[in-house]
Structure 1
């Protein structure tokens, strides 16, 4: 803990959750609709003011120091340095941060460990230096730090879910204007996050490739983003070369699934919501081509053992699935999945 390492008490303690995405995958960087929900796993930052950066990461058992004028170094400290960088670029006086970081959010599973770290760090800095930042601005700054400092071309869904989401609710987020609505999740059901045991080794390169394909599809269709299109434009996609039409079709249909999913939840139609989760996975597998045989197998096993719906979550190319399961059937579901897919790891 902070006191043991730095021989003093932290001035502030801040935290932020990871998230899982229920519907709306690979739509956020296309100005589309998403429906994430926060998870009960937190990243905690115990912090005090100092000059420069001095941070111990419990998960890595590593202490790092860096001056604020030093360049990024391609390591985990970049995420905290980026938070200071973006605040200083906005004109805030933030001379530094001494912190002890611990996290329950699994890394590399598509559950937004980086966004949780950024949001928790910015919350700590907000309290330390009395910064006039609301939770929406925290999300904006966190994404800006990751995109422009760390260099990951992420959308804003992860940071929004971590900063303004609420446990027990889906967060309907329109990434075009950042408007949000909380949607209650069904009572008596559990959101199960299951790691496939396949590391997301190709996720970053595949993610960037899909972004470029969507941008090329927009250029050929004469629109600034795929959000400008509707389901009525589906026939136009058939004229696009290579995989571009399939990529655009996934985004269009996924936006529609998000809206239908919200309606199903609000009407208490859990079965319909589960069907939409499976349709999303099918589209990610066939049109967006980011699934793997292991993820497909895990989804099939989850459905066989009682999940109402299941799909891959995150960028794909490995990582985790999300399933919706009746609470009363959860233990039987869990045992059945582990028997049929021994590599599964329940979070």
Structure 2
């Protein structure tokens, strides 16, 4: 048996510029971090070598790869012509909550399958392959940031170029300042699940509007500004940048926010947070707040009716955490 562990991510600035409708016109950039909430994929030989068994929210038992209903399982197994296996997925967080679960699944599946096939893979290659699967093979109208964030792990500045290349740079911070940043972030669940594909289709179309394209460009500049602040060890502007980015993002597409999200966000700001944003494409899921530690007791008192998810930064990206003595154990 082989087990991969792949982190989910939180994005701070520049989201949306990883869509081809933007980076084919201007260089895109996002600043994000992986977190210690994970997708686990286990693969081991199936007793019937001519069949494939898959277990996720459903169970599939098929005789042919092309009969697999789950599109990502199907396309990855087709890439390696792999049969006679049993694959299982387990996640710390439900899908559709804005933490990049779909791409974490794809990256983790590729890592497990490639290891099973005896292939070593770098983080950036896993990110590239995951984009190939999700965008080109499955046809999802998504960007590229989630795949690289999950594959490479850590606090990163990720750049997207018109020739389809992607560059991942680690944000270098003093350990004590990075720890402070980690401790100043609070994530609360606002409920529901969103359809990222639907929102991202609308966002990609919106960027065709000149004014909204300029707004997206300004969001990219916030990512550069945030990188400079973090590398200088300055956290004072972190909440302000999150807030500015969220206000800009909301203006792109109506489905990104809702009345409930707006009310909870405003309450969080009044409770001591300096800024925040709804994570992911929008509509539902988790709101991330930046709240200094001296304000956190008041924040948690006033926001106590919401489910807070404790988390910390992940530093490693997708990893193989277990390999049996033989692949047939």
User: Gapped runs of 5+ residues in structure 1?
Assistant: 1-10, 218-243
- C-alpha change, 1:325 and 1:293, in structure 2 (3 Å) is same
Aligned to 2:222: 257
How far off its partner does 1:49 sit? 3.6
Q: CA-to-partner distance for each residue in 1:286-314, whole Å, 9 max, x for gaps? A: 24442222222222222222223211221
**Partner SS for 1:28:** coil
- C-alpha RMSD over aligned residues: 2.2
- C-alpha change, 1:67 and 1:131, in structure 2 (3 Å) is farther
How far off its partner does 1:258 sit? 0.1
Partners of 1:45 and 1:102 within 8 A in 2: yes
Q: CA-to-partner distance for each residue in 1:302-338, whole Å, 9 max, x for gaps? A: 2222223211221112332211233464454223213
TM-score norm. by structure 1 comes to 0.77
Distance 1:163 1:68 in 2: 29
How far off its partner does 1:106 sit? 2.5
Q: Say how many residue pairs are matched.
A: 290
Distance 1:299 1:186 in 2: 24
Aligned to 1:65: 61
Alignment pair present for 1:118 and 2:106: yes
Which of structure 1's runs of 4+ aligned residues deviate more than 6 A? none
Alignment pair present for 1:12 and 2:17: no
Q: Which of residues 239, 260, 265 is equivalent to 1:294?
A: 260
Distance 1:264 1:305 in 2: 25
Partners of 2:238 and 2:290 within 8 A in 1: no
- C-alpha change, 1:308 and 1:148, in structure 2 (3 Å) is same
Partners of 2:268 and 2:299 within 8 A in 1: yes
**Partner SS for 2:291:** strand
Partners of 1:309 and 1:323 within 8 A in 2: yes
Q: CA-to-partner distance for each residue in 1:193-217, whole Å, 9 max, x for gaps? A: 222224325x432321221333xx3
Q: CA-to-partner distance for each residue in 1:176-199, whole Å, 9 max, x for gaps? A: 231121124632234322222243
How far off its partner does 1:172 sit? 0.4
Partners of 1:210 and 1:247 within 8 A in 2: no
Aligned to 1:142: 130
Larger RCO: 1 or 2 (CA < 8 Å, sep 6+): 2
- C-alpha change, 1:96 and 1:212, in structure 2 (3 Å) is farther
Alignment of 1:81-92 (within 5 A): 81-85=74-78, 87-88=79-80
Partners of 1:18 and 1:41 within 8 A in 2: yes
Q: CA-to-partner distance for each residue in 1:33-53, whole Å, 9 max, x for gaps? A: 011111111111121145553
Distance 1:142 1:12 in 2: 19
Q: Which of residues 278, 283, 297 is equivalent to 2:248?
A: 283
Aligned to 1:311: 277
Partners of 1:195 and 1:321 within 8 A in 2: yes
Q: CA-to-partner distance for each residue in 1:69-120, whole Å, 9 max, x for gaps? A: 42563xxx322222223x33xxxx5345312221103211111111111111
How far off its partner does 1:165 sit? 1.5
